[in-house]
Structure 1
Amino acid sequence: MPVPLARKGVWAAGVVVVLVTLFVIGLPLVASTQIVRDGIAYQMSAWSGYRVQLGDTPDIRVWPFRAVLHEVSLSDWSEANPQPVLEAEQVQVDLSALAALRGEIVFTKMRLIQPVLRLRGREGALRLTPPQSWGRLSRSVTAARGVVSAAPTEPDTSALPSDTFGEVEFVDARITTRVGGRSRDIVTSLAGVFNWPALNRQASLSAKGIWRGENVTLEAASSQPLVLLGGGSAPVNFSLTSTPATASFSGIANFSGKNFVDGQLDFSAPSLNRLVEWTHSVSLPGTRVGPVTVAARVTGDMSRLKFEDATLGLDNSTGKGLLDVSLGPGRPSVVGTLAFDTLNLHALYDTFSPFSPDTPPVGGAPPSMNPRGYDFDLRFSAANARFNAANLADVAAAVKVKDGLSTFDISDATAFGGTIQLGVRADRTGGSEVVEIRMRGEEVDVAQLAQTFEVKQLVPQARGTLSVVLKGTGNNLDTVLETAEGSVSATFGAGSVPGLSLETFLQRSEEGDFFPLGAMGEGALPISRAEIKATLSKGVARIDQAEAFSGQHRIALDGLVPFASRGLALYGTLSSLDGADPRFESPLTFFVGGSWSTPFIASFLSPAREGR
């Protein structure tokens, strides 16, 4: 028995050697006679549904069994003027050796060197030229549509086509389109791998490229990609990483119709301004705003998206609430309510400033690309907030932008020991931008207010009630003030006015000539109460009533304060109440002129004092 077994082993080994020899010798022969002759081009066309053309005769490499194709192009089937869809300098195709010996072509891997994918349409609606319906991929998608149509909520995945697809790698790729008759790059330096082992299995994409001057990394995967292509809902994981922004989504998606999504979205950007500049080629007005973060469960489609349990971070302020984004038809809109523990009101104001931007769009972007093409209706609340150095509490704020009207309102807030309200409304529906500003403060500690804004002189250190109502034209506060109509009023209780001294004023007045207000020294004028009322017309404030009471004295002012020149033209009187001060048998008159920053005083002594 041992001898026959040994002979059988020798025979078996011999057969293996012969088969391997035949395989090595026969494979190039089979490849050269059955595959090279239009076989690869035919299979690529059968899969894609496009016309496939090869430049030179492919190079065949035996180990690994690979065909190297040169100057490959996929185009539509137009006889008169075929349009290229995909072109590549070189395509390396790994083939199944055993299938080749049977006269069949089975791709295991494809590597595209310097391919160019050409899209058609306008930005925002770019698409591929549709392939022929007889392509294997097209037929598989049609079959998937039938499976999804039969059971939309739970399609029978076992009935999906199970053809082997493989892996597609691309190196130094570009995605382009045509604008104005010229080719324009959309994505450059694109490299990555698309892996789809079989049509009824999971597919994944990993790619890196340059979009609008920034490096972008994209990862995407779906356990049922054919169901997605067939109009059904399937799990999707997606992530995008770049310097201006990162985003990820994990959930269910449906890319038919309006593209429904339901899943967790996480987004972050180090600067809102930089993000808008990158994605829309425009500049936001105001100072730089950032960082921005969003985490929410997002549901809806391309016409409306809801961000539930949303956490929004804006320039280190974090709020939670609900956002509802409507994307069509017409102007897109964002409606929502957010509650913050701490809110940066200056960042919020810069983001939604009612004033028009001074900076024109970057690169001459069309008006439709301007972020002011969106409508907003947002409500904010905050336990604590800040506006530069000012601290506020229990804040209720709102932002509205619609049909050329913009408003920014703080309807209620506790600040400076009292309560304040502020509203800015801009109307751009006419030929010019009309801006209304309303502000009211009640029981405000003006000393705190002055300290916060680092104003030391001539501001009453007392509690007061303030009211400002202005209406003017312009795209910033300075130009609005220079054209403003409206009123300003304030009343103050007991306190003092830094930078004023009655005795110093009288002494300098007796010396004659005029003197700078700053020469009054570091004293403070005690007051029991004060009041001011002014009317604004064409950017000039006319003092209707201004008086302060200090002991037995009354100080009154009237005159003009122009906003454009920042000048002063005021006349004042200093008098004694009920003759309590015999030095003032008649009021002392004086003039206040100069500028806001360097005022001066010229006094005119009364006859009674001149004779003393």
Structure 2
Amino acid sequence: MPSPWIWRAIWAVGIALIVATLAFAALPYVASTRIVRDRIAWEMSAWSGFRVAIDGAPQIEIWPQFRAILTDVTLSKWTDTTNAPVVQAERVEVGLSAMAALRGDVVFQSAVLIRPTIRLEPLANGLFMPPTSSGGRIARSIDAARKLVAADPAKPDQGALPSDAFGTVELRDGRMISAVGGKDQEVFTSLNGQLDWPALNDGATLSATGIWHGETVALDLSSAKPLLLFAGGTAPVTVSVKAPPATFSFDGTANLSQNAYFDGQAKFAAPSLRRLLEWSGTGLASGSAIAAVALSSKISGEPKRLKLANTEVTLNNNPGMGALDLSLSEAVPAISGTLAFDTLDLRSFLAAFTPLASPTGRQDQAVGAGITDRLNLDLRLSAAHASAGPIQLANVAATAQVKDGLAVFDISDAAAFGGNIQSSLRFDRKPAGTQVEMRLLASDVNGAQFGAAAGMTRLMPTGTGTISIILKGPGRAWDSILESANGSISATFGPGKLTGLNLPAFLKRNQQGGFFALDEVSDGTVPIDGAELKASISNGVARIDKAEAKSAKTKIWLSGIVPYAGHGLALSGGITSAAQPPPAQPAQPAQQPAQSADAGTGADAATPPAQPPAQPAQPAQPAQLSFFVGGTWNTPFISPITRAVPSGG
């Protein structure tokens, strides 16, 4: 027979099972009677600091988790009874502590907001932020942490931080809205995320995804001491933002007090800066063909001014190094600094602030696209090698400046075409329209190399020379600049050759008469001692005042007009060939005069008429011909005016 203690043990276990069974069975009754709607609403208000209203009756579920299911839940500011709620959820699932419920307490372990609508508040800087409350346990905990930070900003007493348990908050299929112009507009849609914050003195992580401007954005945010961060203290922060148009990350420390600052490593990348600008909704350079950009830097400073040290930047696969300053203290952001590249595509770089330099930009694109009014830029650039389309440069020193509607790009020095070049491109946005100015000075350059890069293969001197180009005009679009430009072009070249002209064939076709294409006689070169060009440009029409190529025996010249519109030609030209003078006639020997018999006594002498003296040789007139040049830049034709004139007379 079992001993008494065994019976007592069996009875104790049995009683415990009965009590547990009764407690489990009584839990819905207790929950339904004591965890009522007002009690849950009050506890939610105590945490959030907002006035919580629950329209539907709570539903209590025990398995697999003890939770309350709430419907039509709203959170509003206590002092605002007229405006729409700051948070409104169709359904809220609150995970509760079963043991606390048996004691008649409400202890939240988790909360899931299903299809919530969160109303954002617009800030003065144009951004939107979720509303905040001045009350509630979270706000009081932040106030307590703020006092600890004030007592010792460098090392606040973290052991004295509030240690209330918090839990997990999850959002499913939510959205964020804001009132713009009196109407609600969606800012984020398809919002899903989760905040894990076990206790207020512990670390927290936030992961969320949503759709902004049609693109999915993923956010990951974590901090080891978020309560200190909210209280104005310094705490470690890790941020990651990923979207198809761009990615950004930061890993370091931050301080969000009135004297906020950041210090850490930041990375940014955009596969297409044009797509990023379009996605951002700023309207900047939406037509520009801007390539990829990536940046990695050590950043430090306050929100209004950040220093980017040891900056690694990549523009269209061209890596560079330098240091930058970002200032947000003025009405528009300002970027200044220095960047050094090994190789640099200048057209891709220029496309960052004007579509005119875009290699694939449309000819009718407007200038500037607004970025000159929304960004201040002052960069000093250097590149061991650079390219601008077919033009290859070396040892480039340049500056890029954008401010108050003015965009300027200057190349102060660069090696190219065997010599040096200096160039300036200026866009000045004014109420009357954008004015564009372009300058180029090429010194001691090889004419053949310059002509090949500029696409000028006909009648281009190959010697060493100097070229100056100045153009100014309104900048409604790229074509309109050249069609209405004013300025000048001048060039001088030393000994070399004139390309694209077979002179004997040209003279022969000219003698035959009838017009002919220049291409028919372009398979040759003409040796020259030098060449000179002077032209003035008015309203897009170049007037050639002087265009001569000379050698010891030949001079070739052109004059006339060349309009940009239509690329037509209206030129007259000529070729002067120095001829050899004819040899001088030898003088006739003088004869003795014969005397007449009537002349008196002595020998008779007869005197013939005197011969005129020999005339000196006359200089020969040079052989000349003249012609007309018509057609277009790509297909010029020659029409003879006069044929060669024989020398002498």
Aligned residue for 2:606? none
What is the CA distance between 1:117 and its match in structure 2?
0.5
Mapped to 2, the partners of 1:28 and 1:371 lie a distance apart of 67
Encode CA deviations 1:526-545: one digit per residue, 9 max, x unaligned.
Answer: 22211111122232222222
Indicate the residue corresponding to 1:500 in structure 2. 501
Question: Which letter maps to 2:126?
Answer: G
Which stretch of the first structure deviates more once superposed, 13-22 or 34-43? 13-22
Shift of 1:438: 0.7
Q: Distance in 1 between matches of 2:22 and 2:372?
A: 69
**Shift in CA distance, 32/260, structure 1 to aligned 2, threshold 3 Å:** same
Taking the TM superposition and a 5 Å limit, the aligned residue runs for 1:21-170 are 21-63=21-63, 64-78=65-79, 80-121=81-122, 124-131=126-133, 133-170=134-171
What corresponds to 2:588 in structure 1? none
- Aligned-pair CA distance for 1:390: 2.6
Kindly state the Cα deviation for residue 68 of structure 1 after the two structures are TM-superposed: 0.4
- Listed one character per residue, the Cα deviations across residues 29-87 of structure 1 (whole Å, up to 9, x for unaligned) are 22111112411111001111111111211100122211000111111224751530111
2:628 pairs with 1:591: yes
Q: Deviations over 1:367-418 (max 9, x none)?
A: 9x85741110011111111222332211111110112221011111112222
> Given residue 72 of structure 2, which amino acid in structure 1 is its aligned partner?
E
Residue matched to 2:253: 252
Partners of 1:430 and 1:62 lie apart in 2 by 71
* 8 Å contact from structure 1 (residues 117, 176) kept in 2: yes
Other-structure match for 1:373:
374
Matched letter for residue 571 of structure 1: S
Task: Report the Cα offset of residue 28 of structure 1.
Answer: 1.6
Quick one: distance in 2 between partners of 1:79 and 1:513? 93
Q: Which residue of 1 aligns with 2:466?
A: 465
Cα 1:522–1:159 shift into 2, 3 Å:
same
Q: 1:588 to 1:227 in 2, by over 3 A?
A: same
Q: Structure 1 residues 484 and 241 mapped into 2: Cα distance closer, same or farther (>3 Å)?
A: same
CA distance, structure 2, for counterparts of residue 583 and residue 508 of structure 1: 25
Residue 482 of structure 1 and its aligned partner are, at CA, apart by 2.2
Bigger mean CA offset, 71-80 vs 81-90: 71-80
| SS of residue in 2 equivalent to 1:139 | helix
The sequence identity of aligned pairs, in percent, is 46
Partners of 2:4 and 2:66 lie apart in 1 by 38
| Distance in structure 2 (CA, Å) of the matches to 1:584 and 1:605 | 16
Which has the higher Rg, Structure 1 or Structure 2? 2
Asked whether the 8 Å contact 1:286–1:351 carries over to 2, the reply is no
Q: Which amino acid aligns with 1:179?
A: V
Structure-2 separation of matches of 1:94 and 1:154: 36
How far apart, CA to CA, are the structure 2 residues paired with 1:192 and 1:354? 39
CA shift in 2, pair 1:6/1:580, >3 Å: farther
Contact 1:264/1:296, CA 8 A, preserved across alignment: yes
* Aligned AA (1:100): A
The answer to whether the Cα contact below 8 Å between 2:510 and 2:643 also exists between their aligned partners in 1 is: no
Counterpart of 1:447 in 2: which secondary structure?
helix
Larger CA deviation: 76-85 vs 156-165: 76-85
- Aligned twin of 2:586: none
SS at match of 1:140: helix
Structure 1 residue 221, shift from structure 2 partner: 0.4
Give the secondary structure class of the aligned counterpart of 1:377. Answer: strand
Q: 1:568 to 1:438 in 2, by over 3 A?
A: same
Farther-moved stretch of structure 1 (188-197 vs 347-356): 347-356
Range with greater deviation from structure 2 (448-457 or 187-196): 448-457
Q: Is the 8 A contact 1:574 1:588 kept in 2?
A: yes
Q: Which residue of 1 aligns with 2:20?
A: 20
**Alignment length (residue pairs):** 605
Counterpart position of 2:234: 233
* 1:219-251 superposed Cα distances (whole Å, 9 cap, x missing partner): 100111111111122110010111111111001
Q: Partners of 1:515 and 1:530 in 2: how far apart?
A: 25
Residues 543 and 558 in structure 1, CA contact (< 8 A), matched pair in contact too: yes
Return closer, same or farther for 1:297/1:486 CA change in 2, 3 Å cut-off: same
Contact map agreement 2:446 2:462 (CA 8 A) in 1: yes
**Aligned residues of 1:280 and 1:370 also touching (Cα < 8 A):** no
Indicate how the Cα distance of structure 1 residues 41 and 370 shifts in structure 2: closer, same or farther if over 3 A, else same. Answer: farther
**Residues in 2 aligned to 1:609 and 1:559: alpha-carbon distance in whole angstroms:** 27
2:406 alignment counterpart:
405
SS at match of 1:440: strand
Deviation of the 1:195 alpha carbon: 0.7
Once residues 329 and 393 of structure 1 are traced to their aligned partners in structure 2, the CA distance between those partners, rounded to angstroms, is: 36
Structure 2 residue ranges without an equivalent (≥5): 583-618
TM-score, with structure 1 as normaliser? 0.93
534 and 67 in structure 1: CA distance in 2 versus 1, 3 angstrom threshold? same
Residue number in structure 1 paired with 2:638:
601
1:510-532 per-position Cα deviation (integer Å, ceiling 9, x unaligned)? 11232222221412222221111
CA drift at 1:157 = 1.3
- 1:455 to partner: Cα distance: 4.3
Q: Is the 8 A contact 1:285 1:359 kept in 2?
A: no
Q: What is the Cα deviation at residue 280 of structure 1?
A: 2.6
Matches within 5 A, 1:435-474: 435-474=436-475
Alignment of 1:167-316 (within 5 A): 167-257=168-258, 259-284=260-285, 287-316=288-317
- Tell me the TM-score normalised to structure 2 length: 0.88
Report if aligned partners of 1:471, 1:485 keep a CA contact under 8 Å in 2.
yes
Query: In structure 2, the residue corresponding to 1:587 is in which secondary structure?
Result: strand
Query: In structure 2, what is the Cα distance between the partners aligned to 1:83 and 1:585?
Result: 97
